[in-house]
Structure 1
Amino acid sequence: MTILKLNNVSITFGGLKAVSNIDMTVEKGQIVGIIGPNGAGKTTLFNLLTGMYAPTSGEILLYKDNPIKLNGLKPYKITGHGIARTFQNIRLFRDMTVLDNVKIGFHSRTKCGFLSSVIRLPSYYDEEKRVREDAEELLKMLNLDNKKHEFAKNLSYGEQRRLEIARALASEPSILLLDEPAAGMNPNETIELTHLITWIRDKFNLTIILIEHDMKLVMGICNKVYVLNYGNLIAGGTPDEVQNDPQVIEAYIGSESA
C-alpha cells in the first residue's frame, strides 16, 4: 500500500534546479534508500518532505485515510501528520539531559492546553507523568535508560545517534527519515545500527527512508533504492537492480571505487 508519493517534484534556487522532476513511490513498511554523490540533492529532498522547503512544482502526497498534500505545509504540521527526521549533523540539546531531549520529542503529541499548563491543573501533571514514562520506555528500548540523567553532550557518538532517533520516535511517526545515520560511525557501530534500523521498522510498524553513503548498509536492509545525480533521479528499484544499472555504476558506485 502506498504511503508517500512524489509526482514530478522540483525545486529551483536562483534559477538552478536543485531537484528536478522527481517521481517516487514509497510503500508502507518499506525501508527505502536514497543514494547519490555529494551534492546530488538528497538532503534537499528530505527538506522538501519535511516542509523546510516548498517545491517549486509538482506535489508531495501522504496517504492516510485520504491523501494529504504536503506542499507548503509548515514543518510542525508535517510532523503532526506523522513524518519525523534525524539530521546528518546531530542536532540535540547538548546541555539538556538525555531524558529531557526525548521528552521534547513528545511535544507534538501532548494534549494539555495553555490554561492547564499555566495554572497547573491535574491534567497537566497527568500529562507530564505520561510523557516521562513514555520517554523512559523509549530510552530503555534503545539501551539509553542508564544514561537518562546524563547531559546529551557527554554521550558517545553512537549514543547520540540513538538519542536523536529516540527523540524522532517520540513524535509517533508513521514515516521516519534518517539522514546519513551511519556517518562517523566505526564498523561495529554501523553493524549495530543496521540491526537497529530493521528492529525499529518492525517494532514501531514504521516506513523508513534513509540517505546513506554506506553501500553495504543500504544494499543490506533496503527494499527499494532510489539514486540521485545532479538533482535528477537516474534509477530506482531493488538493491540488485540498482547495483547493476550502468548509470548508477558510472555516477556513483564507480566513483566510490575509483
Structure 2
Amino acid sequence: MSVIEVNNISMSFGGVKAVSDVRMKIEHGEIVGLIGPNGAGKTTFFNMLTGIYNPTEGEIIYNFDKEIHPSKIKPYEIANSGIARTFQNIRLFSEMTVEENVKVGFHKNISYKFFSSLFRFPSYYNEEENAYNKVTELLKVFNLYEKREELAKNLPYGEQRRLEIARALASNPRILLLDEPAAGMNPNETNELMELIRWIRDKFDITIILIEHDMSLVMAVCSKIYVLDYGKLIAKGSPEEIQKNPEVIKAYLGGES
C-alpha cells in the first residue's frame, strides 16, 4: 500500500490555479523528487501535503496505522502523525542555540506531564536524558556537535541547512519533505548532502520527498521523479525516463518538444 496517495488535487488562489489535477502514489522508503521550473507549483504542493493549504479539489491520504487526511486536521496534528519538513527559506529559531533548535524538534516525543516537570519526578529526568542523547546523536551525525552552543543565526548557510534537516528528523518522522535542501550549497556540500539523504532514508527507515533545482542531486538520489509545469503534472518516472522525456525538455529549455 502507498504511504501517500494524492488523488486529483488542485489549488486555486482567486482565478489562478497554482496546482491542477495532480495524482501521485508514493511507496514507503522511496526517495522521490519533485521538479519543475520556477513557479511550477512545487512549494504549493508541499503546503498542501502539510495542511498549510487545503486543496480546492481532490484529496490527500497518508496511509499509516490509519488513514490521515491532511485537509481534515490541523498542521500540528499532521506533524504529530509523522510528517516533517524543511523550507525553501530557512526557518530556524535564530536566537536559540544549535542544540536548542534540535531539542525543539524533539518536543513532540517527550511524554512527561506538567507536574512531572514542576516537581522533577524521575520520569522528567529520564525523558530529558533521552532527549539529550537523541539530540546529541543527531548533532554528531550532521557535524554540528562542536557548534551546539552557538546561536543558529551565526552558522554559515550550509550548516543552517543541515541544522534545519536535523531539527526535522528530531520529531521522528515517517515522511520527510525537503524543500530545496541544496540551495546555496557549494559542490562539495551538495555531494555530502547526496550521501546524507541516502543515509537518512536507510537509518530512519523513512520516505523522503524533495523539491530541488540541482539536477545532479535529483538524478543521483531519487528513484522516482515527478515533474510539474504551470501547476500540471507533465511527467513521472525514473531519472533515466525523465532525462529523455520531451515534455520535460520543453518545459526547462523552451521551444518545441
TM-score (norm 1): 0.95
Partner letter of residue 35 of structure 1? I
Deviations 1:16-67 (A, max 9, x none): 2111111011111110000001110000000001111111111111111332
Counterpart residue type for residue 221 of structure 1: V
Match of 2:224 in 1: 224
Alignment match, 2:141: 141
Pairing 1:167–2:170 present: no
Q: Distance in 2 between matches of 1:234 and 1:92?
A: 34
RMSD: 1.4
Partner SS for 1:2: coil
Alignment of 1:95-110 (within 5 A): 95-110=95-110
Deviations 1:138-187 (A, max 9, x none): 11121211111111112121111111111000000011000000101111
- Residue 169 of structure 2 aligns with an amino acid whose one-letter code is L
- Match of residue 126 from structure 2: 126
Aligned counterpart, 1:177: 177
Secondary structure of the residue aligned to 1:182 is coil
Where 1:7 maps in the other structure, the secondary structure is strand
State how many pairs are aligned. Answer: 255
Deviation, structure 1 residue 234: 0.6
Distance apart, 1:118 and its partner CA: 3.8
1:195 paired residue number: 195
Moved more, 141-150 or 82-91: 141-150
Structure 1 residues 253 and 79, CA, compared in 2 at 3 Å: closer, same or farther? farther
- One-letter identity of the residue aligned with 2:190: T
SS across alignment from 2:101: helix
- What displacement does 1:115 show? 3.1
Q: Give distance in 2, aligned partners of 1:125 and 1:196.
A: 32
**Equivalent residues in 2 for 1:232-247, closer than 5 Å:** 232-247=232-247
Could you tell me the TM-score, scaled by structure 2's length?
A: 0.95
Gaps of 5+ in 2: none
Partners in 1 of 2:34 and 2:254 — Cα distance? 17
Q: Cα distance, 1:220 vs. partner? A: 1.1
CA distance in 1, matches of 2:176, 2:73: 18
* Structure 1 segment 1-258 matched on structure 2, within 5 A: 1-252=1-252
Unaligned segments of structure 1, at least 5 residues: none
Query: Cα offset for 1:253?
Result: 5.0
Alpha-carbon separation, structure 2, partners of 1:210 and 1:25 = 15
**Distance in 1 between residues matched to 2:123 and 2:84, nearest whole Å:** 27
Per-residue Cα deviation, 1:112-159 (whole angstroms, up to 9, x for no partner): 223333444332232222211211111112121111111111212111
Deviation larger for 122-131 or 53-62: 122-131
**Offset, 1:89:** 1.0
